[in-house]
Amino acid sequence: MSFLARTLKPVTALARVSRLSTRFYASETAAAPAAGKLVVNFALPHAAVLKGVEVNQVDMSAVSGDLGILADHVPTIEQLKPGVIDIISDSGSTKYFVSGGFAIMNPNSVLNINAIEAFKLEDLDPQAVATNLAESQRLASSAKDEVTKEAAVIEIELYEAIQSALSAKSK
């Protein structure tokens, strides 16, 4: 189990296992979006989170900085850093925490997001995050070799990003 998955609330982890996804060929992508709309495809290695969904805007954290993507955005490829992806549509906003990945904005107002792991922000347990952060900090300080220490440092960075996202959500 990944260290990010350990922060999920128990009910969510069970529900997530039962979902199945289907792979599609590139020729089966959605038709052109409505004017002023952005089409989002959001995929994980084991599931399709969104496929051909029309939204108004997507906000995300990339290595180059924070981005707000709208329809007709300049084509770009961005490496995602651990943080929140906020998908804003007419019906509201849905926030996901991603551990990393890539976002590819195409010239036809289609945004493809490929993430390693992603969970709805509301599904993350703040207490589990705090517990796992403390454990990672303990491992980093007591590590006897560089590999163990570096792995713990990566976990610390991720858990700190989750804590930051959860604290921003509660404001």
Q: Could you tell me which residues come within 8 angstroms of residue 88 by beta carbon, excluding any fewer than 6 positions away? A: 55, 56, 57, 58, 59
Rounded CA-CA distance 86/113 in Å is 12
Spatial distance between the Cα atoms of 80 and 65, rounded to a whole number of angstroms: 9
The pTM assigned to this predicted structure is 0.75
Confidence class of residue 137 from pLDDT cuts 50, 70 and 90?
very high
Burial of 1 by CB count in 10 Å (0-12 exposed, 13-18 middle, 19+ buried)?
Answer: exposed
Q: Is the pLDDT of residue 14 over 50?
A: no
The answer to whether 49 touches 43, Cβ cutoff 8 Å, is yes
pLDDT above 70 covers what percent of the chain? 78
Q: pLDDT tens digit string along 32-76?
A: 566 789 999 999 999 999 999 999 999 999 999 999 999 999 999
